[in-house]
Amino acid sequence: MVAISVGLAFGLLGLGLLFMVFAGVRSLTLGKQDFKKIGMMAIPFVVFGISFAVFGEYAKAGMMTATVMMATMVLAIVLTGLRGTFKF
């Protein structure tokens, strides 16, 4: 029963990812999005690829990806707060 549930969950995740890619390509072809916005979605995959090349394990690469993305988020929040505070 657990194996079926896990398989269905991964199947739903795969379908969701497939539809997101389809919607992104469709928006891009209709001119609703530009390449920069679509390219920003690839950043976590690039970070994961680099960390996987360095560590060679999926678990360590996943943890490093999460750490790098959270550190980047905190840095962006600090920088936007400073920009808003000092008006530059």
With a CB cutoff of 8 Å and minimum separation 6, the contacts of 52 are 58, 61
pLDDT in tens, 42-59: 899 999 999 999 998 989
Measure the CA dihedral 79/38/56/14, to 10°. Answer: 130
pLDDT tens-digit profile, the chain (88 residues): 888 999 999 999 999 999 988 888 888 788 877 778 778 888 999 999 999 999 989 899 999 999 999 999 999 999 998 887 887 6
Domain borders along the chain are 1-32, 42-88
- R_g of the chain computed on alpha carbons: 18
H-only helix segments in the chain: 2-30, 35-40, 43-55, 58-86
